[in-house]
């Protein structure tokens, strides 16, 4: 098989090829490493490419297979967002603050991938500490959207989404705090799944906002997302917030269909600010689900409009504590020139954090301050409960909710960099489900101006199976989208 064809494979197709002996994991890994070498200077999806390690893992996987072993991901090359700790491999969150940090421990999610036999190609670019919606807040370099290199890939998992979209890996891990898997998946044209809060262990996921952070996957299709989720999900004694809920066999019964499935459509997701062509694509997708047997039902989520302000109080508040530990004493950036400890700490933080990270630390510190706590943090938590209640009420009448993932297709790099609130608004569709801790995903549902558009599906807690079945039903109904030429493929 030609190298480029190998790179385009889904996880399942690649696994089939490995099992049939059509190619080896080393062939597959080398093809992807070559493609990264050829393309990534233009895309910027990777911060670290672990070529030697990847080839060694591939070789080990091939040997295991030759010895008659198999595993759900044996020999399959993946990319990992640089927010997940990887033992012995630099982990920086795309921040100057963590320059040179090599963790002595794997994130539980990474350990589970390793145990399943996966090959790690490298660590992907992101907005610094996962704070951003365009990946322009990477302290290292921006990521470019593979469909149009002048456009942003979305964020904060922009590197992972771009790597999947540009066939620089078969699939990738990301993290989603307010939409950081789904929004870049929509903007880059891949599937992005954020499971229920607590479904995947957060141990080793470098914290941005602990009550919202959740590991997600970016894949080329829905069955691949189910396959990865099945490997990653489950209780972890090292994460007290990981759920003790049985893990169903997600890949099994994926093609069950949507006969009789009640799909909720809320007017709050189709209001002002939604690009009309995006709306058209999303409504066509919902119609396609109906044609496949689902039933459309109107629902109301009246507190949706508060999600943005609520999120921008809670997430920065938690971040202000989570990021306090970066003071230059124990790991990462330090400043040996400083004459005393206070000077060292303030210089390290002044130089080590980017402007968006500083903005959020300031916002959060303010919101938690004595005298402001009740008005900001406490109030935001109360409204968060109302948002959660909206969904609970809606899910009494419907099985799943359908909405756009992002209000518009990918925007120009630099377009929103000077207007933080405009940038924050690109997450307006994804924030409510994050605040409610619900499983949700984005799946490509069309192109507008030659750029991908995403359909977002949201399910009740731990109903990932239903979510994936519905998404798969849509994926089959949709068929292969008539896609324009990716700019990244044009030399």
Partner 1 sequence: MTSAAPGFRVVIGLEAHVQLKTRSKMFCACPADYANAEPNTRVCPVCLGMPGVLPVINRRAVDLTILTGLVLDCRIPEHAKFDRKNYAYPDLMKWYQISQYDLPLCVNGHLDVTIDGSADRVRIRRVHLEEDTAKLTHVTASDGAPASLIDVNRSGAPLMEVVTEPDIKTPAQAAAFGEQLRGLLRWIGVSTANMDEGALRIDANVSVWPADHPVGAAKVEIKNMNSFRALSRALAYEIERQTELRRRGGALVQETRGWDEASGTTLVQRTKEEAHDYRYFPEPDLPPLHVTRARVDQLRAQLPRMPDDVAADLTSQGAPSADVAELLHDRALTDYAQAVIQAGADVPAAVTWIVHDLRRVLNARGLAADAIPIPPPELAALLQLRANGSVSSTMAADVLDEMFATGKPAAAIVHARGPQISAADQLLAIARQVIQENPQAVSDYHAGKQRALQYLMGQVMRLTRGKANPGAVSALIEQELGGTG
Residue ranges binding partner 1 (CB under 8 A): 84-85, 91, 93, 98, 101, 103-105, 107, 202-207, 209-211, 237-241, 317-318, 320-321, 324-327, 329-331, 341, 345, 365, 368-370, 373, 377
Looking at beta carbons only, is 213 or 221 nearer to partner 1? 213
Query: H or E segment at 227?
Result: helix 222-232
Looking at beta carbons only, is 203 or 474 nearer to partner 1? 203
Looking at beta carbons only, is 238 or 280 nearer to partner 1? 238
Among residues 133, 156, 317, 442, the one annotated as catalytic is: 156
User: Shortest approach of partner 1 to residue 118 CB, angstroms?
Assistant: 19
3-state secondary structure of 44: coil
Query: E-strand spans in 395-439?
Result: 400-404
Dist CA 192 CA 312 (whole Å): 23
Residues near 17 by beta carbon (within 8 Å), at least 6 away in sequence: 1, 9, 23, 28
Among residues 95, 138, 180, 320, the one annotated as catalytic is: 180
Nearest CA to 250 out of 222, 224, 230 is that of: 230
User: Shortest approach of partner 1 to residue 136 CB, angstroms?
Assistant: 23
Q: What is the DSSP letter of 267?
A: G
CB 370 within 8 A of CB 153: no
Looking at beta carbons only, is 23 or 376 nearer to partner 1? 376
Instruction: Count CA within 13 A, CB hemisphere, residue 432.
Output: 30
User: Shortest approach of partner 1 to residue 347 CB, angstroms?
Assistant: 14
Distances (CA, A) of 59 to 3, 28, 122, 315: 18, 11, 16, 42
CB 421 within 8 A of CB 160: no
Q: What is the DSSP letter of 133?
A: S
Is 180 marked active-site? yes
User: Shortest approach of partner 1 to residue 320 CB, angstroms?
Assistant: 8
CB 134 within 8 A of CB 356: no
User: Shortest approach of partner 1 to residue 345 CB, angstroms?
Assistant: 8
Dist CA 457 CA 455 (whole Å): 7
Dist CA 350 CA 91 (whole Å): 20
Nearest CA to 452 out of 108, 122, 80, 186 is that of: 186
CA dihedral 433, 434, 437, 443 (to 10 degrees): 60
Please, which residues bridge with residue 191 across strands? Answer: 219
Nearest CA to 323 out of 335, 315, 334, 312 is that of: 315
Looking at beta carbons only, is 437 or 452 nearer to partner 1? 437
122: Cα separation from own chain's centroid: 16
User: Shortest approach of partner 1 to residue 115 CB, angstroms?
Assistant: 18
Looking at beta carbons only, is 370 or 396 nearer to partner 1? 370
Q: Which two three-digit tokens encode residue 240?
A: 């007290």
Looking at beta carbons only, is 212 or 394 nearer to partner 1? 212
User: Shortest approach of partner 1 to residue 314 CB, angstroms?
Assistant: 9
> What are the residue numbers of the active site?
81, 156, 180
């Amino acid at each position: 098989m030609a190298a480029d064809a190998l790179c385009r494979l889904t996880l399942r197709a690649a696994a089939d090829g490995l099992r049939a002996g059509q190619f080896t994991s080393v062939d597959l890994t080398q093809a992807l490493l070559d493609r990264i070498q050829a393309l990534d200077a233009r895309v910027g999806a990777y911060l670290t490419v672990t070529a030697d390690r990847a080839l060694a893992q591939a070789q080990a996987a091939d040997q295991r297979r030759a010895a008659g072993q198999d595993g759900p991901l044996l020999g399959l090359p993946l990319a990992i967002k640089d927010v997940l700790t990887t033992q012995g491999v630099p982990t920086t969150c795309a921040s100057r603050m963590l320059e040179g940090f090599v963790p002595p421990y794997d994130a539980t999610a990474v350990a589970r991938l390793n145990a399943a036999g996966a090959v790690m190609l490298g660590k992907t670019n992101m907005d610094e500490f996962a704070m951003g919606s365009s990946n322009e807040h990477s302290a290292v370099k921006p990521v470019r959207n593979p469909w149009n290199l002048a456009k942003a890939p979305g964020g904060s998992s922009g590197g992972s989404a771009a790597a999947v979209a540009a066939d620089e890996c078969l699939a990738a891990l990301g993290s989603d705090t307010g939409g950081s898997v789904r929004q870049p998946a929509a903007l880059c044209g891949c599937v992005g799944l954020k499971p229920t809060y607590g479904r995947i262990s957060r141990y080793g996921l470098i914290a941005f906002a602990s009550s919202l952070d959740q590991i997600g996957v970016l894949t080329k299709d829905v069955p691949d997302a189910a396959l990865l989720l099945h490997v990653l999900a489950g209780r972890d004694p090292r994460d007290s917030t990981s759920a003790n809920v049985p893990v169903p066999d997600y890949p099994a019964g994926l093609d069950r269909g949507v006969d009789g499935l009640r799909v909720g459509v809320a007017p709050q997701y189709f209001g002002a600010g939604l690009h009309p062509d995006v709306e058209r694509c999303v409504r066509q997708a919902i119609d396609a689900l109906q044609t496949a047997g689902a039933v459309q039902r109107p629902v109301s989520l009246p507190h949706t409009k508060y999600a943005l302000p609520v999120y921008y109080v809670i997430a920065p508040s938690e971040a202000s504590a989570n990021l306090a530990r970066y003071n230059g004493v124990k790991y990462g950036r330090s400043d040996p020139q400083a004459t005393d400890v206070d000077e060292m700490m303030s210089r390290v933080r002044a130089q080590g954090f980017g402007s968006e990270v500083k903005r959020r630390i300031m916002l959060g510190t303010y919101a938690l301050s004595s005298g402001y706590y009740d008005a900001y943090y406490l109030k935001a938590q109360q409204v968060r409960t109302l948002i959660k209640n909206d969904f609970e009420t809606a899910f009494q009448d419907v099985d799943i909710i359908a909405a756009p993932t992002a209000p518009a297709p990918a925007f120009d790099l630099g377009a929103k960099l000077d207007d933080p609130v405009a940038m924050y608004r690109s997450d307006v569709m994804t924030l409510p489900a994050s605040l409610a801790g619900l499983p949700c995903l984005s799946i490509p549902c069309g192109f507008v101006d030659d750029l991908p558009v995403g359909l977002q599906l949201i399910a009740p807690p731990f109903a990932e199976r239903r979510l994936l079945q519905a998404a798969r039903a849509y994926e089959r109904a949709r068929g292969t989208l008539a896609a324009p030429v990716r700019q990244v493929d044009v030399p």
